[in-house]
Amino acid sequence: MVERLVPDGLWELFQRVVPEAPSRPQRGGRRRHGDREVLAAIVFVATSGCTWQQLPSASFGPSGGTAHRRFAEWTKVRVWAKLHRLVLDELGARGELDWSRCAIDSVNMRALKKGCLTGPNPVDRGKYGSKVHLITERTGLPLSAGISGAHLHDSQALTPLEKGIPPIRSRRGRRRRRPGGKLHADKGYDYDHLPHWLRGRAIRHRIARKGIESSTRLGRHRWTIERTMAWLAGCRRLHRRYERKAENFLAFTSIACTLICYRRLTK
């Protein structure tokens, strides 16, 4: 099961971003579980949606408590964001990223335990939740992800999300971090300051205008990000937000984005 959840290619990339294991000068004690086994356990929790206590340690080796501690350690040093960027670099070097059209959107997740970056959801009877914000390239691969409270308006997330796109390798030339074509968005982003800000960064945009046109016309290009949101929901740990800490919820979001991109890398 470890090799199925963490293939050799993904493991080789993970080894480039994971920090070295701390030494034990006092010697003795239990043997430290291997990083690959722990990574497989974390991926199992992310994809199955089970709790750390329900993790079948007989299949992986480490217990749920061990996997959770290692997950927290790696989250603190931003291992998941680095792994996502590394997979994007591999895709960019192969010419698998299509920058000609990008799209931005968000999806609501109910927060069962509240916590940081949660808020009353105006479309869910005021129940507490979080939003996952995404920017994807033309085929739906996530380039940048972020989270916020469910009460935050989508328009407020565009600027930090676009700035959060890392410099990604290209097949030829310098690294890229801006859409080469149009950035597509729905009416939630139709505010005067956003087109002005995008033009200042030399980014063409196509935002549906309120009261003038239907959002359905943008469906010809925005269906890919809707499909990506469905892929995220396939990562069962993101079906609901169980983490009180925002960094842990963002870590699971990064893991889901990494798995989506890695599937394209192995096609």
* Residues 138-168 pLDDT 10s: 999 999 999 999 999 999 999 999 999 999 9
- Name the band, by pLDDT with cuts 50, 70 and 90, for residue 215: low
Band of the pLDDT at 135, cuts 50, 70, 90? very high
Distances (CA, A) of 138 to 61, 98, 179, 223: 40, 6, 10, 10
Cβ pair 255, 45 in contact under 8 A: no
Would you say residue 87 has pLDDT above 80?
yes
Contacts of 36 (CB under 8 A, 6+ apart): 2, 6, 11, 14
Q: Where are the beta strands (DSSP E) in 84-153?
A: 101-110, 119-120, 128-136, 142-149
Asked if pLDDT for residue 110 goes beyond 70, the answer is yes
How confident is the model over 53-74, as a mean pLDDT? 92
* 31 has a pLDDT exceeding 70: yes
Of residues 190 and 43, more confidently modeled: 43
DSSP state of 172: S
Average pLDDT value for the chain = 91
pLDDT for 97 beyond 60: yes
- Distance CA(177)–CA(99), nearest Å, equals 9
**219 — pLDDT class (breaks 50, 70, 90):** low
* Average pLDDT rounded to a whole number, residues 81-92: 96
Q: What pLDDT sits at residue 214?
A: 64
Classify 193 as helix, strand or coil: helix
Is the predicted pLDDT of residue 256 greater than 60, yes or no?
yes
Of the listed ranges 109-113, 182-186, 214-218, the one predicted with least confidence: 214-218
In this model, does residue 88 exceed pLDDT 70? yes
Where does the pLDDT of residue 220 fall: very low under 50, low under 70, confident under 90, or very high at 90 and above?
A: confident
Residue that the structure tokens 């089970």 belong to: 50
